[in-house]
Homo-oligomer: A and B are copies of this chain.
C-alpha cells in the first residue's frame, strides 16, 4: 500500500473582504486612472506617493487598543514597541508629509495621489477591506479660489473618463452656513459641549436622500424608529429649531442668486453664517467665469458630508443617471467622491492652522458606473496571436515566427505547453486569440504558413451548419509564404479593428 501523505496542506483562499483583480479590470482601470491623472496634471497638481503604513499616531488614530489593535484600521506593533497602521485614507498621510516637509514646499502645495487604502470594517457586497482612492488637495491657502478649482477639477475628471455632461453633478455646500442656521436657532456650533449634538445634526441631514424631510425631522428631534424596530436617538432639537434646518436643506431650488438670497435670510445675523454664504457666492462666481454652469456644478445645502474634520466648503460628486443592474432593476450610483475644506489636519502636528482643501474619488464606485455605461473596453485588451506547435521538433521555427510578430509590435506567443492540437486550439480560444499560426509538414515543405482567423471563423460557424461543407471550404483560413507572415497577420488584425 502506498504511504499516505499526512502533511496538512494550506487552503488556497483569501481573507474575507479582499479580492483578486483580473486583466480586463486592471486594463480598464488603468485607462481610467490615466485619464484622471491627465486632468490633474493639466491643472498643475504634482503626484506624490507615501508608503502603505505609518505610525498610528501620525495617522491620527488613538494608540490602538492592545486587545483589539485592528478595530477600524489594521495595526501592528514594531519591535521597538511603537504602533504602525495601514493607511485608511490618503489625507492623513498628506498631513504628515506636509508637516514633515513644510519649509521646503512651494506653497500653496498642490498634490495628487492614488493608491490602495485599507479599513478593517465589515465587508459586504461591493464593500472591500482594500480599495483604491484618488485624491487631489491644495494645502496652504484659505483662498476660496482653491475650493472653486477643486470643483472644476472633479467635474473635468469625471467627464474625461467618459461620464457625459448631464449624467453627473458636483454639489457644493458650506459647513459655515449650517453653523449659521444652528446659531440662529440658538445653538452655538463651535462650543465644545455642543460638538456631539452638531455631529448628530450633520448625520441626520446626511440621510435626507434616504429618509426624506419627515425622517430627518424625527432625527433632529427626539429620535426615529426604523422598520426593523431599531431606535436611533435624535439631536433633541425643539420644533422651532428644526424648521429652519429643514428649510435650509431644502433650499436648493432656483438659480445661484435665488439660493444665496434664501441662505442669507436663513443664517440671519450669524457672522459665521454670512461668511459661509459669501464664500459660496465667490465660488459660484469663479465657476461661472470658468464656464462651469448649473448642469455641472451647483450649490445644494443638503450636502453635508459625514466627516467631522471639514471646516468650510464641502463637495460631493454624484452620478445622476440610472443603469440596469444584473438583476434587471434600476441602479443609481449616487456619490462617487467628495471632499471639502479642512483647516485642522496639519495643525495636529504643527500647532498652527494650515488651511487645506481637497477632493477624493472613490475609484471602485466610479469604475462600476463606467462598467454599467459599457465604457471599460481597453484598447490593449485583445488576445494574443497564438503560434501553434504542430511538431515539437521544430519549436525553434515557431519561436522565430513569434519573434518576428513581436518585433513588429504584434501581441503574440508561441504555445509553450506540451499538449496536442486540440488542446492548443482550445487554449487559443480561451485566450481570445484573433488568429492562430499553423505550420505542419506540408506547409513547411512549401515554405508556407497558415493563418486561421478565429474571429471570422466563429462568425462563419454560426452560418455554416454542415460539417463537411465547413471542412471543404476551410473558411477564414489563408496560406502565405513564411516571409509574408507578418504582413498577412497585420491585415487580419486590421480587418477586425477596422
Bound Cα distance from A47 to B416, whole angstroms: 18
When each residue 395-438 of chain A gets 1 if its CB lies under 8 Å from chain B and 0 otherwise, what string results? 11101101100100111111011100000000100110000000
Beyond A140-B417, A409-B42, whether A349 also contacts B20 by CB under 8 A is no
Additional A-B contact list (8), CB under 8 Å, known A9-B351, A290-B402: A14-B54, A14-B96, A22-B48, A23-B46, A26-B47, A41-B411, A74-B76, A138-B416
How near does chain B come to A354, taking the closest CB pair, in angstroms?
A: 12
Decide: A399 and B148 in contact? CB cutoff 8 A: yes
When each residue 143-165 of chain A gets 1 if its CB lies under 8 Å from chain B and 0 otherwise, what string results? 10110110010001000000000
Residue of B whose beta carbon sits closest to that of A129: B51
Chain B residues, Cβ within 8 Å of A143: 416-418
Asked whether A130 is an interface residue with its Cβ less than 8 Å from the other chain, the reply is: yes
Number of copies: 2
Decide: A20 and B75 in contact? CB cutoff 8 A: no
Chain B residues, Cβ within 8 Å of A78: 15, 70
Asked whether A289 is an interface residue with its Cβ less than 8 Å from the other chain, the reply is: yes
Asked whether A69 is an interface residue with its Cβ less than 8 Å from the other chain, the reply is: yes
Decide: B15 and A396 in contact? CB cutoff 8 A: no
Beyond A107-B417, A145-B414, A414-B145, whether A48 also contacts B75 by CB under 8 A is no
Bound Cα distance from A116 to B290, whole angstroms: 40
Decide: B15 and A53 in contact? CB cutoff 8 A: yes
Interface set, chain A 146-187, CB cutoff 8 A to B: 146, 148-149, 152, 156
Sample (12) of A-B pairs whose CB atoms are under 8 Å apart:
A11-B349, A12-B100, A13-B100, A14-B54, A19-B51, A42-B406, A43-B384, A44-B412, A70-B78, A106-B430, A286-B399, A289-B396
Asked whether A50 is an interface residue with its Cβ less than 8 Å from the other chain, the reply is: yes
When each residue 56-95 of chain A gets 1 if its CB lies under 8 Å from chain B and 0 otherwise, what string results? 0110100000001110001111110010101000000001
Decide: A142 and B418 in contact? CB cutoff 8 A: yes
Decide: B400 and A290 in contact? CB cutoff 8 A: yes
Decide: A413 and B52 in contact? CB cutoff 8 A: no
Bound Cα distance from A82 to B395, whole angstroms: 48
How near does chain B come to A296, taking the closest CB pair, in angstroms?
A: 13
Residue in A14, A146, A349 with the greatest tally of chain B CB atoms within 10 Å: A14
Q: Which of B11, B18, B50, B96 contacts A51 (CB 8 A)?
A: B18
Chain B residues, Cβ within 8 Å of A69: 76
Residue of B whose beta carbon sits closest to that of A413: B44
Beyond A23-B46, A70-B76, whether A130 also contacts B84 by CB under 8 A is no
Decide: B15 and A400 in contact? CB cutoff 8 A: no
Beyond A43-B406, A290-B400, whether A431 also contacts B54 by CB under 8 A is no
Asked whether A55 is an interface residue with its Cβ less than 8 Å from the other chain, the reply is: yes
Interface set, chain A 14-45, CB cutoff 8 A to B: 14-15, 18-23, 26-27, 41-44
Decide: B396 and A285 in contact? CB cutoff 8 A: yes
Asked whether A462 is an interface residue with its Cβ less than 8 Å from the other chain, the reply is: no
Decide: B51 and A14 in contact? CB cutoff 8 A: yes
Asked whether A225 is an interface residue with its Cβ less than 8 Å from the other chain, the reply is: no
Asked whether A99 is an interface residue with its Cβ less than 8 Å from the other chain, the reply is: yes
Beyond A48-B23, A57-B10, whether A416 also contacts B79 by CB under 8 A is no
Asked whether A371 is an interface residue with its Cβ less than 8 Å from the other chain, the reply is: no
Residue of B whose beta carbon sits closest to that of A409: B42
A interface residues with partner B (beta carbon < 8 Å): 5, 9-15, 18-23, 26-27, 41-44, 46-55, 57-58, 60, 68-70, 74-79, 82, 84, 86, 95-97, 99-100, 106-108, 110, 116, 118, 130, 138, 140-143, 145-146, 148-149, 152, 156, 285-286, 288-291, 348-351, 380, 384, 386, 389, 395-397, 399-400, 402-403, 406, 409-414, 416-418, 427, 430-431
Chain B residues, Cβ within 8 Å of A21: 48-50
Residue of B whose beta carbon sits closest to that of A56: B10
Bound Cα distance from A312 to B71, whole angstroms: 45
Chain B residues, Cβ within 8 Å of A146: 416
Q: Which of B42, B396, B400 contacts A411 (CB 8 A)?
A: B42
Bound Cα distance from A118 to B380, whole angstroms: 30
How near does chain B come to A418, taking the closest CB pair, in angstroms?
A: 5
Chain B residues, Cβ within 8 Å of A84: 15
Bound Cα distance from A270 to B50, whole angstroms: 53
Bound Cα distance from A47 to B15, whole angstroms: 22
Bound Cα distance from A118 to B252, whole angstroms: 49
Bound Cα distance from A27 to B409, whole angstroms: 24
Residue of B whose beta carbon sits closest to that of A411: B42
Beyond A15-B53, A349-B11, whether A106 also contacts B418 by CB under 8 A is no
How near does chain B come to A288, taking the closest CB pair, in angstroms?
A: 8
Chain B residues, Cβ within 8 Å of A52: 52, 86, 116, 118, 130
How near does chain B come to A9, taking the closest CB pair, in angstroms?
A: 6
